[in-house]
Each structure stands twice: as structure tokens, then as C-alpha cells.
Amino acid sequence: MCGIAGLYGIPADADVLPRMLDAIAHRGPDAEGVHEIVSHGADVRLGHRRLSIIDLSEAANQPFEKDGLIIVYNGELYNYKELGQELRASGVRFRTTSDTEVVLEAWRKWGADCLNRFRGMFAFAMLDTRTGRLVLARDPFGIKPLFIARRNGGLAFASELKGLTPALGNDLKVNTTALISSLMYYWIPEGHCVYEGVQKLPPGYWAEISPNGDYREQCYYDPQRELIHDSYEEITVDRLRTIIEESVAAHMVADVPVSAFLSGGLDSSLLTVIAARQGHNVEGYTISFREEDQKLEAMPDDLFYARKIAKANDLKLHEIEIAPDVADMLPRVVDMLDEPIGDAAAINAYLICKAARDTGTKVLLSGMGADELFGGYRKHLACMLAAQYRKVPGFVRQGMVRPTVDRLPVAYKDRGFRTVRWAKRFLAFADMPEETAFRRSYTHYGVPEFHELLNPDLHGAVDTLIDEHADLYNEYRMANCGDQVNSMCYTDTRHFLPGLNLAYTDRASMAASTEVRVPYVDREVVAAAFGISGKRKIAGRETKSILKKAAEHYLPKEIIYRPKGLFSAPLRAWIRRDLKEMVEDLLIEGDMVKSGFLNGKTLRRMVDEDRAGTADRSKEIWQLMTLESWLRKQSASL
């Protein structure tokens, strides 16, 4: 895993590329390289920071040049040995055992067709010195990031936004629609970027720029073609289990030890146990919270179950207590995440990865992606239940259920009431139409709340974002057998997964100079998941039903069928205790209120409701604090 950066056809001082690489040095502390060349009249500067995972020798350092091609590459190609054998059989001679050289030679032989042969996560830039053209590519699901800024017939690129800042400087301006999307979703979707004129190369795309400034993008992995079916295959439980086993085996390819996140839940436990039974010496890393935080949060005790899995499978378990100085950690996390992402789970990911790195581990497996693919989130089940709830007579819903739930507190003194929180959240969307209900099930605000919170001049951006979500959801719903569960899974795979979960995982892990691999986010697993009907994913009230059946071969039922835990943080405790003064200073008296971007009275009411226990506003408050902190840092740096 690494960091890449470069300039193509953009004049810049000699120190710009080194400063770009310095900004992303955490992504690759093992080696640094730069290659500068004038190719067909275009000034090209390619830079690389290396985290050595495969072929640890200096010969595999980058930029990697061979016979007219020069590559900087971030990622892992899990089937590089198989592709290497095929290339050798055709006469290719290799001088390293790295996957980097395989990527380069695969492009030379097959061109863009090689991208559909790759099993892995990647983002790379490759210069063909014979034509002067630069190619950029990104993996099908957006596991690895790649930011591009096109300027005056050239472009700059980097693995993180902070890597672009030295090249673009004062030319970076904040995109208001992206800011509003971070309020709506608590992250910024792939189709938007927090800076105007900067884009994320879409997952499943490659791009090319020529010395004359011509630029084009091409899709090589089309989710509409790959994941939308006229009918569902009869994928058996055994077949699904085999596909996951094969993915785990592929993801264990490395020249350094591979360990795993181990929460004690279904997804991470299944991957960890499969890896252990395949003969790999994996260690587990899990988190715990202070007792007083768990009490207010009403959080399940994941550590108890992680210990059971570790003991039953003779695994070494590293336990990390999440008890940071939150006031100090918040601005650090904001800087780490690049864009304003208001999910405190990033803190967990960072602290786990840091602990792993401190014990000598560079690579970790994660169970991320299983919920998106197999209908495992509470929002998925809640939306299915909402479809049934809407059949209840209106006078019962509006005259009895809602008034009763509205009166219940979400917390009292130092104890939180999880069931009440869920009930209030459910009623926020249960009466809405299907797609609207799904969007509202995982966003912070309904449209009326948004209009009350935001400056009226910004309401049009809200409508734009709502329309984009509807188009994506209905793209699947209208094309594929009327399956509500898979429509939610499809939307999550293209929207929620790359925009939030994969994004914060990449930034948090790389901030600790570690690599996280996601075996569920694999082309074979994804294809299988969308060959399974929704009724086999959510059966009655059992989420991830088919995955749970597949896991029974490896895990005890008390692990498989226990209540779902959350890879989250004790926000309620932090907001009410650790950050109480900071909420006032940073948020209530913040620049977003002073500038008129937010309505101060509405914000004050939200904070007061949370403190009184009449409503749970902790996630909204945390997100707003991260956004305010990001904006202040932005103002100071530009």
C-alpha cells in the first residue's frame, strides 16, 4: 500500500512534487521516489511513497520504469502471481517479484482490458514515453482513492487531497454542494468533491491525457451491467461459502504477516476464522470502551465475543480501549480524513491500525462490505418493516404510536435507552415512500429540518442531492425484478460503501501506515451477492440470512445470531461530557453560524434537546463539529 502523486503538463517549482509527497508521507514510510521527464513536449513528474508489502526489495521501489513505461501504483493485486505466469508464458521477462511490474506488463500486453483481469484494490498512473500519454486507473469499487485536478490542458493527481494542495494552493475553492452533502450524509459522495475543480476518478474507470491536452475517461466496470440481472441465480449456501473462502485466500497474499480486525461479530469473525483454518498465523485486534461510556451509549460488549472467538481458534488477541482525549483527537481526525467525514468510527479504525503498527503488523483484514452486500444494516430491516408499517391505519400511526414515542426520553441522567432511540429514528422515515424512506433512514435530516437549519439560498443544493439519490436507487429498483432489498444493497455498494466506509478506512489506516484489505469487497463476492434475491438476504426479521447460514460451518450460533454490534464510538458520552465546552466554543459560536451558513437558533435547539435527553442529536453534533473544524483549518491554510 502506498501513496502516489504527480503533475502532467503543469508548470511548477522544483519543490512542488516533493511537498506533495511529504503531505502523504504517512501512506508510505518505507521508500520515496521521484521521476521527472519531458515526454513529447509535456512536463511529467511522478512521485511515490512506498509501504512495502509484496517484494520488499529495493528493486520494486517506484516510480518503476521498464521499456518505455513508467508507473506509480497504490494497491495490491492479489492474483499477480497467476497473471505473471501467463505473461511469462507469452515471453515477458520479469526483473522483480512485485505486483507493480505485473500491472505494468499487463497494461503493455492487454491495454485497458487488463483491468478486468485484476483481482485487487488499486489506483495507478502510468506514462507511456513512446506516446507521451498518461493513463490513470482505479479499482471497481473505489477501495483506493485517486483525486484529479485538471488545469490548463494538464492535470495534477494524488492519493489524498492534501497531496494536491502544494500543486494547486490558492486555486482550491470549497464546493458548497459538497459541504451540504456532508451535512446530509455525514460524508461526501463519490460524484462530488469538497473542492471545486477537483474530482475523484470514479470507481471502475480509467482515464487518459495526451500531450495536446486531450482528456478522456472510460468505464471498464459498469455496475449496471455487472450487478443488475433479469433474474437471480440459485447460488447455494455452500457455493457462497466457497467464494468467500477463495476471496480470503487471495487476500492473504503478502510478504509480511496479515492480521485482522476482530469485533466478535459475524463479518470479521468469519474472515478471521477462515484465514486461521487455511493455515495462516493471523492475530486479532479488537476494541473496548470505558464502562461509563458503554452505559450511556447502551452499546453491546463486542470484546466478550471477540475473546470467545480468539480462545476457540487459538488466536492472539490485541485489545485496544477507545478512551482518547477527544478534544485533541477531533482536529487530528479531521486533518486525517481530508474531506469532512463526520463518522467517529474513523477514530476506532485509526487507533486499531496504530496499535497494530506499533506491534509490527502492516496488514489487516476487515469485514467491511458484508452489510452493504447482504442486507445487514438495521436500516435495511427497518425499511422492510416500514413497508409493512405503512399498511397500519393512519389514525393508529399518527394518533397513537407517534405521540407515545415522541414523549419518551432517549436518555435519563447517565443511562441511554437504545430501544427508544431506534423507535424515534424509525418514525422519522416510516411513513415515507420507499426510496425516500431509505435515504432518510441513514441521513441526519429530513427536508423540512434541512430547510430550517440551512441558509435559504442553499436549499437548491439539497434538492440536487435528493434527486441524485433517487436516480441511483431507482436505477436498480426499476430494472431488477422489483427487489427492495437488493435496491438498497446496490445503492449502498455504489454510494455508502465508497463514499464513507472505504474512504475513512483508507485514510485512517494509511495515517497509521498500515494496509486494510476487504475480502467481501471483491469482484467474485460482489457478483455472487447480487445473484442472490433479497428474500434470501433478509428472511423475516433475520438480516444477512444466507451469509449467516454459510458461516455456520465456521462459527458458533451465539456469534452468528447475536444482536448486531456497531463499529462506532461512544458519541453520546463524548458530546455530553468530554466535548461539552467545545460544543459551545466551536459550534454554537462557530463560523458557520456567524457567516449565516447555518441557523444559530435551530442549532441551539438541537444541542439543548440532546442535553435534555428528549432527542438524540449526538451524531449530528459530531458531524457539525467536524465540518466546522475542517472549515477553520481550510481558512487557516489557504
- Its domain, for residue 204, covers 2-221
Specify the CATH number for the domain of residue 177: 3.60.20.10
Query: Distance of alpha carbon 63 from its chain centroid, rounded?
Result: 27
How many residues can be counted in the chain? 638
CB 585 within 8 A of CB 305: no
**Are 83 and 164 found together in one domain?**
yes
The x, y and z cell numbers of residue 442, run together, are 441513514
- The predicted structure's pLDDT at residue 248: 98
- The predicted structure's pLDDT at residue 393: 87
**Are 37 and 145 found together in one domain?**
yes
Is the whole-model pTM more than 0.85? yes
**Are 592 and 526 found together in one domain?**
no
Report the alpha-carbon distance of residue 254 to residue 281 in Å, rounded. 12
Last-in-domain residue among 166, 195, 221: 221
Please classify residue 275 by burial: count the beta carbons closer than 10 Å to its beta carbon, then call 0-12 exposed, 13-18 middle and 19+ buried. buried
**Are 36 and 101 found together in one domain?**
yes
Output DSSP code: residue 563. P
**Are 547 and 634 found together in one domain?**
no
Is 479 a domain residue?
no
Q: State the pairing for strand pair 258-261/363-365.
A: parallel
Closest among 365, 360, 225, 213 to 286, alpha carbons compared: 365
CB 120 within 8 A of CB 78: yes
Cα dihedral value 542, 544, 545, 551, nearest 10: -130
Closest among 569, 511, 143, 516 to 354, alpha carbons compared: 511
Report the alpha-carbon distance of residue 188 to residue 496 in Å, rounded. 9
Neighbours of 93 (CB within 10 A): 7
Is 371 a domain residue?
yes
Report the alpha-carbon distance of residue 161 to residue 450 in Å, rounded. 28
Q: Which residues of the chain have pLDDT under 70?
A: 1, 291-300, 412-416, 480-482, 565-568, 637-638
Query: Distance of alpha carbon 504 from its chain centroid, rounded?
Result: 5
CA angle 56, 60, 66 (to 5 degrees): 165
Report the alpha-carbon distance of residue 181 to residue 194 in Å, rounded. 9
Please classify residue 523 by burial: count the beta carbons closer than 10 Å to its beta carbon, then call 0-12 exposed, 13-18 middle and 19+ buried. middle
| Residue 32 three-state SS | strand
CB 558 within 8 A of CB 264: no
**Are 588 and 630 found together in one domain?**
yes
CB 495 within 8 A of CB 441: no
**Are 208 and 281 found together in one domain?**
no
Is 365 a domain residue?
yes
Report the alpha-carbon distance of residue 322 to residue 328 in Å, rounded. 14
The x, y and z cell numbers of residue 338, run together, are 481530508
Last-in-domain residue among 196, 221, 246: 221
Neighbours of 40 (CB within 10 A): 14
CB 483 within 8 A of CB 327: no
Report the alpha-carbon distance of residue 510 to residue 356 in Å, rounded. 12
- The predicted structure's pLDDT at residue 614: 83
**Are 187 and 77 found together in one domain?**
yes
CA gyration radius for the chain? Answer: 24
End-to-end Cα, the chain, rounded Å: 29
Model pLDDT for residues 253-271, shown as the tens digit of each residue:
999 999 999 988 999 999 9
**Are 12 and 109 found together in one domain?**
yes
Is 452 a domain residue?
no
Closest among 122, 127, 161, 166 to 144, alpha carbons compared: 122
The x, y and z cell numbers of residue 589, run together, are 459560536
**Are 172 and 35 found together in one domain?**
yes
Is 439 a domain residue?
no
- The predicted structure's pLDDT at residue 29: 94
Is 424 a domain residue?
no
Number of domains in the chain: 3
Is 414 a domain residue?
no
Asked whether the bond before 11 is cis by omega within 30 degrees of 0, the reply is: no
Beta-bridged to residue 208, according to DSSP, are: 135, 216
Last-in-domain residue among 221, 254, 273: 221
Is 432 a domain residue?
no
- The predicted structure's pLDDT at residue 65: 97
**Are 194 and 269 found together in one domain?**
no
**Are 232 and 107 found together in one domain?**
no
Report the alpha-carbon distance of residue 99 to residue 247 in Å, rounded. 17
